[in-house]
Amino acid sequence: MDKIYLNRCAFYGYHGVFPEENKLGQRFNVDVELELDLQKAGQSDNMEDSIDYGAVYQVIKQVVEGKAFRLIETVAETISSKLLHKFTLIHACRIKVDKPDPPIHGHYQSVAVEIYRERLK
């Protein structure tokens, strides 16, 4: 299956279990991998045969910068659900939500979740 990637989309949101996360907010990075057939688009050179990357980015932005969720698992699930609903050419998507600065004591680069969802047939 062909793929479209949006890598390291950076946002500021208010997701988290702790009250300070919901009040102060923090950075979130999102990676998206979309599975779809790109052969027709590659042959036609017509945007109608593909997906507008900017429109995909706006869906991700609306979720991450919108309503606060407690879990980044919910953020990822909401992104995948909205993308599969809005863009009918997508067969499946992989969503990774990365939280670089969670309030966890220790030394690490980030915490993240990654999900893979397929369109229901």
121 pLDDT higher than 80: no
| 7-36 pLDDT, tens digit each | 999 999 999 999 999 999 999 999 999 999
Torsion angle (degrees, nearest 10) of CA 118, 115, 7, 19: 130
What predicted TM-score, i.e. pTM, was given to this entire model? Answer: 0.95
* pLDDT for position 14: 97
d(CA 80, CA 116): 8
* pLDDT for position 103: 86
117 pLDDT higher than 80: yes
| 36-74 pLDDT, tens digit each | 999 999 999 999 999 999 999 999 999 999 999 999 999
Residues annotated catalytic, as ranges: 99
CATH of 2-118 among 3.40.50.300, 3.30.1130.10, 3.20.20.150, 3.30.70.141? 3.30.1130.10
Query: What residues does each domain of the chain span?
Result: 2-118
